């Protein structure tokens, strides 16, 4: 089983619908992140969390919200999806320390019609 | 602020050709530098890293040297294979290791 698991892997929805992307990890890391990938723009940080009680906005948090339900679970919600939120979304985890690397899930492809 | 600029793609090479993907960064303090690789349909995975100036990261025949004087971390491989076809991302983490900043990615296609 993957260390970082994202569900769903693919989702097609309509404008205005509420969508939740879920992420769970078995690496025991405190730090979790949500990124969005768009062609030509690389990865952009949406939200990040350093522990269950710590939630921080990233570069592009507008239109998104998150919930850290447990150390191992970090969910991303789109309250009212719009077409320009069509993208590939990645969850990642990291251990503490400046040399800690990110461990990524396989991604959730979201299409908003 | 912190940022990463990497070579625009896509890059197409013949098998056994030499690869260079340029990456430069802007950062305060002493960041750590990374190259991540994304194979088709997969998430990103760490390829190599360097945590201080003059360190060389290496893995699977790829190398990159942390050059503080030129603020660069260029990725090189002497002889690419078809299986190296992927998107490569240069990244840095800030001095505290709290946030990561990614370049836009460079798509590499290696043809037989």
**Token couple for A13:** 């929805």
* Residue pair B35/B25 in contact by the 8 Å Cβ criterion: no
Q: Do A98 and B51 touch (CB under 8 A)?
A: yes
Alpha-carbon gap: B108 to the closest alpha carbon of chain A (Å): 14
Q: How far apart are CA A100 and CA B8, in angstroms?
A: 27
C-alpha B111, offset from chain centre: 21
Confidence at residue B28, expressed as pLDDT on a 0 to 100 scale: 86
Confidence at residue A39, expressed as pLDDT on a 0 to 100 scale: 84
Mutation site for B-interface testing, chosen from A41, A43, A61, A106 by largest number of B Cβ within 10 Å: A43
Q: How far apart are CA A89 and CA A76, in angstroms?
A: 9
The backbone region for B105, taken as left when phi is positive above 0, alpha when psi lies in -120 to 50, beta otherwise, is left
Which B residues 42-101 touch A at CB under 8 Å? 42-46, 49, 51, 89, 91, 93-100
Q: Do B42 and A96 touch (CB under 8 A)?
A: no
Question: pLDDT band at residue B97, thresholds of 50, 70 and 90?
Answer: confident
- Parts of chain A with a pLDDT under 70: 1, 97-99
* pLDDT tens readout for residues B25-84: 999 888 999 999 999 888 999 999 999 999 999 999 999 999 999 999 999 999 999 999
Of B45, B49, B89, the CB nearest to A99: B49
Give the total residue count for chain A: 113
Confidence at residue B64, expressed as pLDDT on a 0 to 100 scale: 98
**Token couple for B112:** 């037989």
Least CA distance to A33: which residue of chain B?
A: B99
Confidence at residue B95, expressed as pLDDT on a 0 to 100 scale: 78
Of B43, B95, B97, the CB nearest to A90: B43
- Residues of A with Cβ-Cβ distance to B95 under 8 angstroms: 98
Alpha-carbon gap: B40 to the closest alpha carbon of chain A (Å): 10
3-state DSSP assignment of residue A61: coil
Confidence at residue B87, expressed as pLDDT on a 0 to 100 scale: 95
Confidence at residue A62, expressed as pLDDT on a 0 to 100 scale: 95
* pLDDT tens readout for residues B9-22: 899 999 999 999 99
- DSSP string of B53-112, one letter each residue: TT-EEEETTEEEE-BTTTTB--EEESS--GGG-EEEEEEEE-TTS--EEE---EEEEEE-
Confidence at residue B4, expressed as pLDDT on a 0 to 100 scale: 94
Least CA distance to B97: which residue of chain A?
A: A98
Confidence at residue B99, expressed as pLDDT on a 0 to 100 scale: 85
Tally A–B CB contacts below 8 A. Answer: 58
Q: Do B100 and A42 touch (CB under 8 A)?
A: no
């Amino acid at each position: 089983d993957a260390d970082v698991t994202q569900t769903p892997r693919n989702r097609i929805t309509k404008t205005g619908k509420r969508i939740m992307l879920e992420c769970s990890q078995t690496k025991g890391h405190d730090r979790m992140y949500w990124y969005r990938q768009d062609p030509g723009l690389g990865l952009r940080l949406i939200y990040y969390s350093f522990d269950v009680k710590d939630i921080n906005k990233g570069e592009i948090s507008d239109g998104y919200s998150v919930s850290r339900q447990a150390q191992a679970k970090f969910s991303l919600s789109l309250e009212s999806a719009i077409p320009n939120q069509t993208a590939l979304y990645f969850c990642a985890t990291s251990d503490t320390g400046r040399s800690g690397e990110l461990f990524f899930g396989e991604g959730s492809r979201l299409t908003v019609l | 602020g912190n940022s990463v600029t990497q070579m625009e793609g896509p890059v197409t090479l013949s098998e056994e050709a030499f690869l260079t993907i340029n990456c430069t960064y802007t950062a305060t303090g002493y960041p750590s530098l990374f190259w991540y690789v994304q194979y088709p349909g997969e998430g990103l995975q760490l390829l190599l890293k360097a945590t201080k100036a003059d360190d060389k990261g290496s893995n699977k025949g790829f190398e990159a040297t942390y050059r503080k004087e030129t603020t660069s971390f260029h990725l090189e491989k002497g002889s690419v294979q078809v299986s190296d076809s992927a998107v490569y991302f240069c990244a840095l983490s800030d001095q505290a290791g709290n946030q990561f900043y990614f370049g836009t990615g460079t798509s590499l296609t290696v043809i037989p």
